Amino acid sequence: MPRVADHDQRRAQIARAFQRLLAAEGFAGVSFSRVATEAGISVGLIQHYFAGKDALLHFAYEDATRRMGERVRIRVRDGEAARLPIAEVLLDSLVELLPLDEERDVEYRVRQGLQAQALHHAGLAEVARQSGGAILDYVTKAVQDGVERGEVEPGVDAVLAARTILATVQGLADQVALSGADAFSARDALRPVIAAVFTGHR
């Protein structure tokens, strides 16, 4: 077990160094030698864990989306434990996708950078589809649950509503990254979009 843990920790250490460089300088500025310096290890050690840049790229993308997904799951768990309305749980969880602190800003820049690469990289494109599909499924399920709980009117197209909400989240993420909007203004902008779908009462 310790060997597996050490292996996973080392891969995560390398991926985080890669992510920091990608967020700060863009994809063109990243190389194994730069990642090695950032991580405080040798190039040979990186090559031991990753066969090439594509493998590191793939893992770094998965790592960023996994951490984002874990934060969303925690928000959902806490909201359900507190018996909050679905609309409030959804708002709290989707705010986790916005670059409102250093960790989320790095993740946002990593996702944007790697999604651009995914247009020409089949492996990354598949990770992007899985990640995007998972968050779309989550929001769609929230809308469907809202119908059952009386928070959403019957007959609402759950997938269309989810896509509309997520399009707003993406636009807000871009605005936050470029203009430095704060958490309160981002929540205030997202709340009425969710409220337009969740028009009923708990």
Low-confidence ranges of the chain (pLDDT < 70): 1-5, 181, 183, 201-202
Residue 95 makes CB contacts below 8 A (sequence gap 6+) with: 183, 186, 187, 190
CB 90 within 8 A of CB 139: yes
Residue 165 pLDDT:
97
CATH for the 53-197 domain, from 3.60.150.10, 3.50.50.60, 1.10.357.10, 1.10.275.10: 1.10.357.10
Domain 1-50 part of CATH 3.40.50.620: no
pLDDT single digits (tens) 158-168: 999 999 999 99
pLDDT of residue 1: 44
CA dist 77 and 80 (Å) reads 5
Domain locations in the chain as residue ranges: 1-50, 53-197
Confirm whether 1-50 and 53-197 share one CATH topology: no
Positive/negative CA dihedral, 99, 126, 44, 113: negative
Which three-class secondary structure state does DSSP give residue 174?
helix
CB 188 within 8 Å of CB 168: no
Distance CA 49, CA 41 (A): 12
* pTM, rounded to two decimals: 0.86
pLDDT score, position 4: 55
